[in-house]
Structures are given as structure tokens and as C-alpha cells.
Amino acid sequence: MTTDIRTKIDKLAALQKTLENGDFLLTWKQDEPTLRSVLLGAQILEDMVKSNVSTRVFDTGLGLSIFRDKSTRTRYAFRSGCNLLGLMTEELDESTSQIAHGETVRETATMIGFLSEVIGIRDDMFLGEGHAYMKEVSASLDESFKDQALGHRPAVVNLQCDLDHPTQSMADLAHLAQHFGGLDNLRGKKIAMTWAYSPSYGKPLSVPQAIVSLMTRFGMHVTLAHPEGYELVDEPLEAARRFAKESGGSFRQASSMKEAFDGADIVYPKSWAPMSVMHERTRLIRARETAKLGELEKQALANNAKFKSWEATEELMKGTKGGKALYMHCLPADVTDVSCKEGEVAKSVFERYRLDTYREAGHKPFVIASMILHTRFGKPWDVLKGLVDANKPRRPR
């Protein structure tokens, strides 16, 4: 295993990619070698853990997170990824901080930047605002570091915003690379990213946007399907079209789940809300018109209910390549007759792939740790080589 790890570190060094003193916000703003480098770094870290080699590179330092939405996987993946590298973790509760008293973003960013190595932010529920907030935090850190109010410049990592979910999509990519025997083996594979029915009304758009804009980078044939009214934001769709052309893959849109599933190697049925609903939800919350939120939810759920047939069923799975397409989901999935009466996926389909979805999620702590390594060190490959050379056990042998 150690020989294999060293070979991968040599490949990482050959890429010569780093994001030192930068951020990881949107995958489509990164070049392909950087994405490959982050993914390979995650694989190396995962191999090191399996080989019981310590990955601790920090003696002190903080990984600070801000979650403006509920989270299980991403919250604990961030903590695990930070801890893997030796960082302590803390989560900022805005309701108990001075933010509740009107503290500005630029002030908050600096205060939480003291001795922090990375700030992970999840702000996905307010369309048009999440990514903008992350950029404001980033700019504030730049200013404070430039004027020496901060001794060093912490990295900002996007743990999900209104546009993209890079830690999820990169973990999905790692899962696909492992399943199909390598990243380059994904070329020519067909993936169906489809809307699916959910008895919940406010799911973000960022996962489907992340998938179509990332998988097209690697020569995959990506089909996006959704009912009328559930369109996605233009920016990631434009990126998907551009990347498909550059990579030799393709990007197309379909009007039915069946059309998208036909011949697919991978299916990713996932619910999301209409843009109009997310914009109105944001407006009502910002205007403190909370009484109207109930009516918006009622209307949105009634609209969702028109498309209950958009469910990943056994019948639809039969139409995939060999009837055995890989099912993927960012979790938690709305599973029919398990978590809800009617949902995104049939119980039998989900159960067959349930442990696969756990493995899919299991790559996320390593992806996050790799993002941190790439943003904190000029030569992450040398850092990893030093750890392998030291061969310090992660736990007693």
C-alpha cells in the first residue's frame, strides 16, 4: 500500500497545482488539473488512513464552520476532515454571536479568522445570496490580511451555496472513479441527473447544478431532466455546455425521467425547488413575512404533487444500461414507504444501493481535507511525502 501511495504522490507532484492562500468556492472556476489534484489528494489521504499512517500536519489551528442550513453529512465531514489534519473545530452559532446585534460580515470574518486555517460555509437556502456571502467573507479576509489585522489568511471552503456544492460533487466524482476503475474511465459514461418527487418544498438547486457542471469536465454524457418550472440557474448550465464541448462529452436536457434513464450508466434522481419558489422564499424571510411562508409551502407542495410519477422505480431502472445503472444520491433520500409515503426512489431500488450511497458519502471528509491541504500549502505533495516518510501511526499498531 505504501508503494502505491508514493506513486500517487509522484503523480500529484507532476500536476504542480496548489491553491495556497486561496479559496475553493466553485468547481467551474477551477481548471481541470486542479480538480484532478484535489481528487488525487483525497485518494492519497484515504489510502494513508487505511494504511494507519498519520495525516496530522497541524499542531494547532482551527477549522471554523458556519452552517445556515441543517446538515448531517457535510457538517461532520468538515469536522472529520479538519481533525484528520490535526485542526480543532468550532461552529459559529450566529444566533448567539454579535451577528445577532448587527455585526458586519467584514468584522465577523476577521474575528473568526484569528488562528483559523479554514472557514467552511454552508449557505444554500437563499438563492442569489449564498455564493455572494462567501465572496464577501473572502474579500474581508483579504483586506484584514493585507493590512496585517490577521497574521495569516484563512481559506474559505464552500460547504454548499446556492450555486454549487463542490464537496459533494467532488465526493461523487471520487465515488465514480472508484466504481469504474479510474477517473479517465468515466469518459463516454452516461449519467442522468433528474428531478424527483419529494413531499418537501424547499430543497436547494446546488446539487444538480454541481453535478452537471462537474461531470461534463471528464468526457461524460450528461442528461438533465426535470418537469417544466424546475429549471436551474444559467451559470452552471452554461459551464456544463462549455465543458462538454471541450471534453468531448455531451450535455442535453430531457423532459422525462424515462428518457434520461434510458441506457444510463449512472442515475442521480434528486428533488429540488423551482427557482421562483426559492426567490420568493428568500424575499419573504428577508422581509420577515413569516406568515406567508406557510402559504408558499402549500402552493409549492401542491405543484410538486403534480409530478409524483417522477420516482426512480424498478421499472425505470430496467431501462438503464444492462438494467444495472449505479444509483447515486447526496442523502438523505426521500424513500417511498420508508421516510415518506411517496418519494424520490422506490424502497427496493434504494435498499439495493443503500451501502453504495454510504460509500459515496464516505469520500467527503477526504475531499474536504484535500481542499484544505491545497489551500494551505504551496506544495501539498511534499507535505504528504513527509508524512509517509515519517510513517507515524495514526493509532497504535
pLDDT in tens, 246-273: 999 999 999 999 999 999 999 999 999 9
Flag whether 397 is in a domain.
Answer: no
367 and 354 together in one domain: no
Q: Hey, what's the torsion of the CAs at 135, 136, 140, 141, to 10 degrees?
A: -30
124 and 141 together in one domain: yes
217 and 320 together in one domain: yes
pLDDT at 42: 98
pLDDT at 316: 98
356 and 368 together in one domain: no
Flag whether 303 is in a domain.
Answer: yes
Q: What is the share, in percent, of the chain residues with pLDDT greater than 90?
A: 90
Rounded Cα gap, residues 325 and 228, in angstroms: 25
Which residue segment(s) compose the domain that 373 sits in? Answer: 2-164+363-390
Per the model's pLDDT, the better-predicted residue between 138 and 103 turns out to be: 138
154 and 204 together in one domain: no
> What does the pLDDT average to over 85-109?
87
263 and 343 together in one domain: yes
Per the model's pLDDT, the better-predicted residue between 235 and 98 turns out to be: 235
Indicate the pLDDT class of residue 397, thresholds 50, 70 and 90: confident
Is 244's pLDDT higher than 90?
Answer: yes
Number of domains into which the chain is organized: 2
Rounded Cα gap, residues 50 and 82, in angstroms: 17
Flag whether 395 is in a domain.
Answer: no
Flag whether 203 is in a domain.
Answer: yes
pLDDT at 125: 87
pLDDT at 95: 78
Cβ–Cβ contacts within 10 Å for residue 320, how many? 22
Flag whether 287 is in a domain.
Answer: yes
Phi/psi at 187 (5° precision): -60, 130
> What does the pLDDT average to over 126-150?
95
The pairing of strands 266-269 and 326-327 is: parallel
First CA to last CA distance, the chain: 16
- What is the secondary structure of 199-214 as a DSSP string? S-S---SHHHHHHHHH
17 and 106 together in one domain: yes
pLDDT at 240: 98
- What is the secondary structure of 117-183 as a DSSP string? EEEEEEE-SSTTTHHHHHHHHHHHHHHHHHTTSSSS--EEEEEEESS--HHHHHHHHHHHHHHTTSG
318 and 192 together in one domain: yes
> What does the pLDDT average to over 365-373?
98
208 and 141 together in one domain: no
Flag whether 90 is in a domain.
Answer: yes
326 and 271 together in one domain: yes
189 and 327 together in one domain: yes
CA atoms within 13 A on the CB side of 144: 22
- Residue carrying the nine cell digits 402549500: 298
Indicate the pLDDT class of residue 96, thresholds 50, 70 and 90: confident
pLDDT at 266: 99
Q: Are 163 and 124 in contact (CB under 8 A)?
A: no
Flag whether 396 is in a domain.
Answer: no
Rounded Cα gap, residues 203 and 118, in angstroms: 27
Flag whether 376 is in a domain.
Answer: yes
> What does the pLDDT average to over 101-117?
91
123 and 197 together in one domain: no
pLDDT at 69: 87
pLDDT at 107: 92
Q: Which CATH number do you get for residue 141? A: 3.40.50.1370
Is 192's pLDDT higher than 90?
Answer: yes
CA distances 162 to 79, 109, 158, 233, Å, are 22, 20, 10, 9
Q: What is the share, in percent, of the chain residues with pLDDT greater than 70?
A: 99
